[in-house]
Structure 1
Amino acid sequence: MATEIKSLAPSSVWEFFYDLTQIPRPTGQTRASEDYVIALGKRLGLETKRDAVGNVLIRKPATSGMQDRLVVTLQAHLDMVPQANSDSSHNFATDPIDAYIDGEWVKARGTTLGADNGIGAAYAMAVLAATDLKHGPIEALFTIDEEVGMVGANGLQPGFSQGDILINLDSEDECELFIGCAGGLDVEATLEYKDEVSVPEGDIAVKVSLTGLKGGHSGMDIILGRGNANKLMNRFLKEAIQSCGARVSSFVGGSLRNAIPREAFAVITIPEEEADGLWELASDYIDTLQTEYKDIEANINFVLERVELPKTVVPEEIQDGVINAVEGCVNGVMSMLTSFPEIVESSTNMARVMLKDGKFEAYFLVRSSLESRKYQVASSIESVMSLCGAKVRFDGAYNGWAPNADSSILKTMRLAYEQVLGITPEIKVIHAGLECGIIQGAMPEMDMISIGPNIRHPHSPDEKVEIASVEKTWRVLCKALELV
């Protein structure tokens, strides 16, 4: 039962997190979670307000004798990534998350857990509700729709928050302090064509399904070299066209812009006499993938099945142009940071591909800590996609967060880790889109840092949060609020 997580420590954090799992809150549908947070603030008798975008801010006065301290803003986002396994019937718009304890971790059955960033929001709410903590003036800022377009952060107006220091609670590695992050840019390629080419006479239809890939966060996990379902499906289709005379009727892969695609599906037609050759090609291909992704992707599932003939196939010139463009487009890690050699500087994720019903669409999320590199990677995608006749549009650009090694909150947080856990935390820059860079644009004088417990495989149904890490990070956060 999901309620079992309320028995974990610290109880206040887990109780608030449980409540959030019961409120459907995919990106774009956060009104109920906003109302929940607002109700909490009012119940506690705290100053509570919501801006025009939907961001919620709650202010808590300092404890006695600490009124002269700097104002600390605890910040987290309310939305979550809605990803489910293919065999799941979960409706993210209406169904609660079924969280459960699995040994040392909390997971969800068949879906994303929403610890990204539900645990961060739960930390902030627990601080607001606590009566036994020592701290200066506190703000809790709950932003909306971070996962697609950083909508809440982009909508923040100067003056909504009065914080001097911002502690972003959206990191996913215990004992690591994040002082910088990548910016991002959405790239969309589209092409329309006449869907009127009949299936070649004598052809049979085959559905090709690629499932079982790990997927994951397109920033955090891009360095792991996981398979991109769109790229891998396209690679097979190109071989099937060349070797078996295949014609593509449809190709659909991936879902969210910031999730590495785990699944892709295609319907193709081939001359009936080429059936044995296609199945042999598929057998060889799965062997190739298992060799190439050994120790990375353990559960690749590649299946062919006969289906009813579709009404049409994609015109051959469109099919070939699109297949070549998807093959040629960059994907994955593009460059590494020189000052933090283990951190990705720039990358791109071919998040979604659709070719059917007279339309081709491809969506990419480009990330980079360096603005010029971000646009260079986007330009390379534009160049390749334009060769097949697609129109390319850039959208949703957001800035990165420049590291500040002399930050005062960095020194305070490092001291908190040393006093509470007896360790010196690592200083990191993250290849993901934290809201800090955007918030800094609205509040340039704010000193910032990002922390969080161990969360693994966010943006995928394998997402999990470590129980002990949640408790340790809570104690560190409380100590930091006392020290600021």
Structure 2
Amino acid sequence: MTALNQLQPQALWQWFEQICAIPHPSKHEQALSEYIQAWAKDKQLSVVEDKVGNLIIKKAATAGMEDRKTVVLQAHIDMVPQKNADKVHDFEKDPIDAYVEGDWVKARGTTLGADNGIGMASALAVLGADDIVHGPLEVLLTIDEEAGMTGAFGLEAGMLEAEILINTDSEQEGEIYMGCAGGVDGQISVPIVWQSPKPSNSSYTLSLAGLKGGHSGVNIHLGRGNANKLLARFLFDHSDELALELTNFTGGSLRNAIPREAQISFMLPAENVTLLQSRISEFQALVRQELAIADPDTELTLTEIPAETKVMSEDSQQILIDILNACPNGVVRMSDEVEGVTETSLNVGVISTETDSVQVLCLIRSLIDSGREEIEGVLTSLSNLAGANVEFSGAYPGWKPDNSSPVMASVRETYEDIYNKEPTIMVIHAGLECGLFKKPYPEMDMVSIGPTIRYPHSPDEKVNITTVGQYWKLLLAVLERTPVKGS
């Protein structure tokens, strides 16, 4: 099998192999951060860790490029920790098991971390090279991008000197991004009253798995199944008929990943178990038919469990089922201004059953503030009607497109010169950090590029090897063409 460190460009892939070897899920990036800092100091590069944990590494211009504008290459250190249910993996301790298959690099049973590990690897490879032409260079590696953008929120003015920022967090070769969606977390708290179950009832868990999941922004328009919404639909259709008494609803693991798996636990009369099994088979067949193209492998599994000691009251259960079934999910509106791009969306990402409530964590994304605010209003109205509570937090701005951006024009022209074709200028329905950087650095000119990454935020994540080489060639050419200061 081909080793990652033998792929081309070798310096980039050697760094990516090292990144895979050091666990770095969101909130647990310190080990990788310390490794990078030690490496930078050994290379006699200036490296600073700011008060929130971001790294800023600086490198002098190569000979003859001292008069060029300073460029900052930006990536985030953390990765999304997602794994298949049958995969034994501790993201805080275990390395990513990456491998080569054809023209792709994948991971066995987990997310790969190409988002944004390839971008980080490219920035570090540039820092470590002696044969790459560039002006004054800064590398900004932010923490916690995937779980709250803590690093981008905490970046202070004065830490960077650059006039140009190249974000490396895009996921399609041949596309240049000049704008992104903003977002906000919405947490719905549904109060639960518990009561004793009927003594004769049997206890079961119904698990749903086999969905593709994926990035709740980039993949939201693909129509993939949401495990939380599917199980809520099953309950809405059949809970009364089967006399189910719910004891637990759990689904999803990250608010920015489309839920691939969910499960419910309940009690029901023993005489209804045969009908339950029939309804499960019918529902599975229905869902597989509806999602035959987008998500064909839905699998429902019924397992008998020990008897429960408490169940949700009838009123609590009905309110929970109604609010989950009625909650919007997926694409709300496509953009009128940018063809083929989602304007506003909602992902019902994580459901957890607590002591006295069921928590429903959603992520709203929109290219426009009013679109985000509209969905906030929808969730507020829904919660009011249900007697639930909703809170919004972690709002971050979108990155407003600038058609007059000099760096965007430079990247576009460079791409055309290298590949003799026009790149696509895009706005991405995801939360790039550029919008947040505009607050401390309002005059900074920004652009985002990257290789082709498929199915980020899911264990199916993979990065295309050929496009990594194309991205690398473009990045080096853009650095070589950095404009003179004052131009």
Please give the alpha-carbon distance, in whole angstroms, between the structure 2 residues aligned to 1:265 and 1:387. Answer: 26
Q: Is the 8 A contact 1:210 1:265 kept in 2?
A: yes
| Alignment check: 8 A CA contact 2:289 2:296 kept | no
Q: How far apart are residue 202 of structure 1 and its match?
A: 2.3
Asked if residue 291 in structure 1 is aligned to residue 289 in structure 2, the reply is yes
Q: Secondary structure at the match of 2:186?
A: strand
Corresponding residue for residue 267 of structure 1: 265
Cα distance in structure 1, aligned partners of 2:385 and 2:18: 50
Structure 2 counterparts to residues 154-193 of structure 1, below 5 A: 154-193=153-192
- CA deviations 1:176-218 (Å, max 9, x no partner) are 00000000100011134343x1111321122101000000000
- What SS does the corresponding residue of 2:272 show, helix, strand or coil? helix
Deviations, residues 416-464 of structure 1 (Å, cap 9, x unaligned): 2122222211000000000000011110000000000000000000000
After superposition, where does 1:369-448 map in structure 2 within 5 Å? 369-448=367-446
Are 1:25 and 2:56 counterparts? no
1:306 CA drift (Å): 2.3
What letter matches 1:140 in structure 2? Answer: V
Please tell me whether residue 238 in structure 1 is matched to residue 236 in structure 2.
yes
1:205 and 2:203 are equivalent in the alignment: yes
What is the letter of the counterpart of residue 387 of structure 1?
L
Amino acid at match of 2:454: R
TM-score between the two structures when normalised by the length of structure 2: 0.97
* 1: CA distance, partners of 2:299 / 2:129: 48
- Deviation of 1:387 after TM superposition, in Å, equals 2.4
Residue 107 of structure 1 and its aligned partner are, at CA, apart by: 0.4
Determine if contact 1:368/1:374 at 8 Å carries over to the other structure. Answer: yes
- Measure, in 2, the Cα distance between the counterparts of 1:11 and 1:330: 46
| Distance (whole Å) between structure 2 residues aligned to residue 7 and residue 455 of structure 1 | 20
Distance 1:12 1:419 in 2: 24
In structure 1, what is the Cα distance between the partners aligned to 2:25 and 2:398?
24
SS of equivalent to 2:377 = helix
Aligned partner of 1:468 in structure 2 is 466
The equivalent of 1:52 in structure 2 is 51
Q: Which string of whole-angstrom CA distances, capped at 9 and with x for unpartnered residues, describes residues 387-408 of structure 1? A: 2222111100000000011111
Determine the structure 2 residue equivalent to 1:224.
222
Supply the AA of the counterpart residue of 1:74: L
Helix, strand or coil for the counterpart of 2:62? coil
Take 1:199 and 1:432, find their aligned partners in 2: how far apart are those partners?
44
In structure 2, distance between residues paired with 1:324 and 1:149:
29
State whether residues 193 and 316 of structure 2, in contact with CA within 8 Å, keep that contact through their aligned partners in structure 1. no
Q: Distance in 2 between matches of 1:99 and 1:449?
A: 29
User: May I ask how many residue pairs the two structures share in their alignment?
Assistant: 482
In the alignment, the residues of structure 2 paired with residue 193 and residue 225 of structure 1 have an alpha-carbon distance, to the nearest angstrom, of 31
> Residues 73, 159 of structure 1: CA spacing in aligned structure 2 closer, same or farther, 3 A cutoff?
same
Match of 1:80 in 2: 79
Aligned residue for 2:432, secondary structure, equals coil
What is the CA–CA distance in structure 2 between the aligned matches of 1:388 and 1:43, rounded to whole Å? 59
Q: Distance in 2 between matches of 1:355 and 1:319?
A: 12
Q: Secondary structure of the residue that 1:441 maps to in structure 2?
A: coil
**CA contact 1:249–1:356 (8 Å) conserved in 2:** no
Matched ranges for 1:333-372 at <5 A: 333-355=331-353, 357-372=355-370
Please name the residue that 1:324 is paired with.
322
Helix, strand or coil for the counterpart of 1:350? strand
In the alignment, the residues of structure 1 paired with residue 70 and residue 46 of structure 2 have an alpha-carbon distance, to the nearest angstrom, of: 14
Deviation at 1:356, TM superposition (A): 5.2
Q: Tell me what 2:68 maps to.
A: 69
Which amino acid letter does the alignment assign opposite residue 463 of structure 1? E
Name structure 1 gaps, 5 residues minimum.
none
Whether the 8 Å CA contact 1:48–1:56 is kept in 2: the answer is yes
Q: What is the CA deviation profile of residues 348-398 of structure 1, one whole-angstrom value per residue up to 9, with x for unaligned ones? A: 000011235432100000000101110110221121123222211110000
Question: Residue 414 of structure 1: CA displacement?
Answer: 1.1
Aligned to 2:8: 9
Shift of 1:230: 0.4
SS of residue matched to 1:427 = strand
Are the equivalent residues in 2 in contact too, given 1:97–1:111 (CA < 8 A)?
yes
Tell me how large the CA RMSD over aligned residues is: 1.2
In 2, distance between residues paired with 1:435 and 1:37? Answer: 21
- 2:314, 2:284 → 1: CA distance? 26
Q: Deviations over 1:227-271 (max 9, x none)?
A: 000000011112221221111111101110100000011111111
| CA distance in structure 1 between the aligned counterparts of 2:468 and 2:350, rounded to whole angstroms | 33
Structure 2: gaps of 5 or more residues: 483-487
Secondary structure at the aligned position of 1:94 is classed as coil
Asked whether the 8 Å contact 1:204–1:272 carries over to 2, the reply is yes
Residue range with higher mean Cα deviation, 324-333 or 3-12:
3-12
Partner amino acid, structure 1, of 2:89: H
The runs of at least 4 consecutive aligned structure 1 residues that moved more than 4 Å come to: none
C-alpha deviation, 1:45, in angstroms: 1.2
Paired residues of 1:455 and 1:464 also in contact (CA < 8 A): yes
Q: Distance in 2 between matches of 1:130 and 1:424?
A: 29
CA contact (8 A) 2:191 2:316 kept: no
How does 1:110-189 map onto structure 2 within 5 Å? 110-189=109-188
Task: Measure the CA separation in 2 of the matches of 1:467 and 1:476.
Answer: 15
The 10-residue stretch of structure 1 (198-207 or 68-77) with the greater mean CA deviation from structure 2? 198-207
Which amino acid in 1 is paired with 2:370? S
> In the aligned structure 1, how far is the partner of 2:355 from the partner of 2:283?
28
Call closer, same or farther: CA 1:31–1:356 in 2, change over 3 Å.
closer
Answer yes or no: is the 8 Å Cα contact 1:74–1:167 preserved in 2. Answer: yes
Paired amino acid for 2:95: P
User: Counterpart in 2 of 1:98?
Assistant: 97
* Matching residue's letter, 1:156: L
Give the Cα separation in 1 of the matches to 2:180 and 2:192. Answer: 40
Kindly provide the amino acid, as one letter, of the partner of residue 275 in structure 2: G
Residue aligned with 1:9, SS:
coil
**Alignment match, 1:252:** 250
Structure 2 CA distance for aligned equivalents of residues 382 and 261 of structure 1: 22
Give the conservation status (yes or no) of the 8 Å contact 2:180–2:398: yes
- SS of equivalent residue, structure 1 residue 442: coil
1:64-93 CA deviation, whole Å, 9 max, x = no partner?
Answer: 111111111100000000000001110001
